[in-house]
Amino acid sequence: MRSYHANLGAGLEGLTLKDGPEPKVRPEEVLVRVRAASLNYRELMIMIGGRYPLPVKPDVIVASDGAGEIVAVGEAVTRARVGDRIVASMFPRWMDGPFTLEHAAQLGGSLDGMMTELKALREDAIVPIPEHLSFEEAATLPCAAVTAWNALTGGRPLRAGESVLTLGSGGVSLFALQFAKMFGSYVIATTSTEEKAAKLKALGVDHVIDYRASPDWPAEVREATGGRGVDHVVEVGGPATLEQSLRATAVGGEIAWVGSLAQGAPPVDVTALFNAAASLRSIAAGSRAQLVAVTRAIAVHRARPILDRVFAFEEVPAAFSYYVAGRAFGKVVIRVCP
């Protein structure tokens, strides 16, 4: 059984393909032939940045996200069968409710991840794949899609007709705009190129802002919302964009802080946080219950995740290099077992 392994801070050159024994299936587990896995920024934080807020085991099998089909079941399994198509929950012990340290064990971190040909998973940590999705599409859901869903529904719930601001065109932002349109929201998105602006408009974004051409983009956000600001911000830039997001948020609105993609961040003025009269909520992806909600919403709307490129399993190092370059519009996916 082949798997890709990495260590905290070892860089992309530390990514190693190894051959090991097949997992032993415990009574409450299922054995999954992994068909596809997807890349997230968290993998770069672990491998390149050497910084991650949760524990990372040495020589960990990388990737929190993966989908596949069940090829064997333990003797105590009652809710899954051989042949079922499933996606794995990123936090196998986080079933529902608020995040606590008891839920901190995660695939591709303190637990081996999904960039492997076979994976043993507890039956209560898997979710059926919507029938219309491919394995490659389903593999994008556990981190980015669940994070976006949590950002919009886990705190101040998004209501029909409210406004949402997304930043850039990464996986979380693209899922957030798709979910926001499902809710009937007015969506504003920032981007840096005309090409990406056109793609965002094609996905239904109501107002696109080129943040390079409009450095004071919060003013444009307020103008587009009649002066009041947006109800929800999906904040992926972190400290480098947080103060601008505060200026763009309506009184009583919410900023869901889901990442820190932008670099070279200045310190945030705490007065700006107070003056915004908005809530700031940090997001740790989401629970299995939120993954279930995501799959149901996607199934009802027949929605499809946005894929940028699919690589073969033998091309995982090249896939990471491509992802690091930052040119992708949508998710970068690995086809593990064709």
pLDDT digits (tens, 9 = 90+) for 90-146: 999 999 999 988 899 999 999 999 999 999 999 999 999 999 999 999 999 999 999
- CATH homologous superfamily for the domain 146-282: NAD(P)-binding Rossmann-like Domain (3.40.50.720)
Which residues, 6+ apart, have CB-to-CB distance to 101 below 8 Å?
Answer: none
- CATH homologous superfamily for the domain 2-140+305-335: Medium-chain alcohol dehydrogenases, catalytic domain (3.90.180.10)
Which residues, 6+ apart, have CB-to-CB distance to 136 below 8 Å?
Answer: 35, 36, 67, 307, 310, 333, 335
pLDDT digits (tens, 9 = 90+) for 27-44: 999 999 999 999 999 999
Which amino acid is it at 64? S
Please state, in angstroms and rounded to a whole number, the distance separating the CA atoms of residues 248 and 101: 32
Identify any residues that bridge with 116 across adjacent strands, giving them in sequence order: 3
Domain positions in the chain: 2-140+305-335, 146-282
pTM for this entry = 0.95
In the predicted model, is pLDDT for residue 262 greater than 70?
no
261 backbone dihedrals φ, ψ, rounded to 5°: -75, -35
DSSP class of 23: P
